[in-house]
Amino acid sequence: MRMNLAAFYTVLFLSAHFHPLQMLETTSSYIAETTQSATSEPVQPSVDVRAARERMAAQLATLVNIDFVVTLILGSLAIFGNIIILIVTAHYKCIGIAEVYMVGLAVCDLSIGISTSWRALADRVYTWSAGVYGFCALTYWPVGGVEIAASTTASLIAMALSIDRCFALRFPIKHSELSSVRKAKIITVVSGLISIIIGLNYPLRLTIIEEGISFLNIMPTKYTSLGEDAVFSKLCRYIEFFFRFAIPLSTMTFANTWTMAIIHKSDQFRKKIDKEARSTMNTPKCLTMTIGLVIIFIITQMLKAAFLLDQMIFHSAHRGIKAFEIFIIVGNLMTKFNSIVNIMVYLLLNTEFRRTLLKVLNVCKTSDNEISSLATLTTTNGPEKRDVASRI
């Protein structure tokens, strides 16, 4: 079984180099959000224009192959890392507000890792057979919608976590009265429901055509009748931008800045008091971890936010420009990297997470030793078996 899996992934990675690239006319609708409507008449390009397109395709092919490999690596790491987070948090003795948001972020990042990995694979394997093509076509944009919904939910949860830690630091008494684990769970669920509605716009607006090979190894896509509605498409872009980027990033920036200012004033005050009084002062749980998560989240989401803003203002006027295509690829990889960074932050800044992880690993090691010892006892025969039994 392991050999079969190894052979399968070897073929996929080799396909990054041997899968043929096909150029289409710029007015065809195979690439969603990049070309004109499918009803547009094709325009025969001149020899110079065609040569320029072929050169750009060759240049971008290397980046697309790199994007494919890195996406699979990041997706695998996201799945593995966030499963560890969920296992460790399940062994916590007490689940607080911060831990509820940690679990929510882990579920979102796990969904992003699975979704991005599947779409990257679908872009490479859809030409293998008619059955594979049909399955990829059926799942491609619904999975894309799940990815967008998970990313939007992660943004809203990170915003809620940032606000909660700032509120706990600034108004500790009111925070203990107004905030609770139950309310944190409700906020997480509501954020997910809102994001699912936002993510549904992708399978509603985009679909896979019945057959064809698209530009730069992307599944051939066209607009649905609803997607051809300019007003609906623009409304979807605005809603996604505001809920996924504008509102969360601006709120997190404000809350994080305020939190850091409070911490700075607190540090200045602590220096003026004696050590005994300093030890009695409590700080909100996971404060440093929250600041680290928010800063990394803002950095990794900025390029994707800029791309969506460009789509809102200029639609697809800049698509096809080499520098802009590189910008899009880098922005996509940065958002995927955000799905694996949380476990790094927890390991560096969260003492409870490290301690619980070590306990889980020790339990697993002890269980393996017990199973190994039991297997040794059951395979002992004759006088050796009686000797072992007498010692027991």
**Structural domain boundaries of the chain?**
2-349, 353-392
The secondary structure of residue 19, as a DSSP letter, is S
Residues 6+ apart with CB under 8 A from 135: none
**pLDDT range class, residue 312, cuts 50, 70, 90:** confident
Residue 31 has pLDDT above 50, yes or no: no
Nearest-angstrom CA–CA distance, 385 and 382: 5
pTM score of the predicted model: 0.77
Residue 29 pLDDT exceeds 70: no
Q: Tell me if 194 sits within 8 A of 283, measured CB to CB.
A: no
Buried/exposed code over 330-362 (b: 16+ C-beta within 10 A; e: otherwise): ebbbebbbbbbbbbebbeebbebbeebbeeeee
Total residue length of the chain: 392
The Cα–Cα gap between 27 and 40 comes to 6
pLDDT over threshold 90, residue 381: no
Q: 247: which 2 tokens?
A: 């509102």
What is the rounded CA–CA span in Å between residue 43 and residue 33?
19
The pLDDT of 203-227, averaged and rounded, is 81
Asked if residue 388 has pLDDT above 80, the reply is: no
How confident is the model over 36-74, as pLDDT tens digits?
Answer: 333 333 344 444 555 655 666 676 777 888 889 999 999
- CA–CA dist 167, 184 (Å, integer): 14
Residue written as token pair 């690239």: 21
Cα distance between residue 235 and residue 251, in whole Å: 22
Distance from C-alpha of 241 to C-alpha of 247, rounded to nearest angstrom: 8
Q: Report pLDDT for 66.
A: 86
Q: Which residues contact 280 (CB under 8 A, 6 or more apart)?
A: none
Pick the CATH number of 2-349 from 1.20.1300.10, 1.20.1070.10, 1.25.40.10, 3.40.50.450: 1.20.1070.10
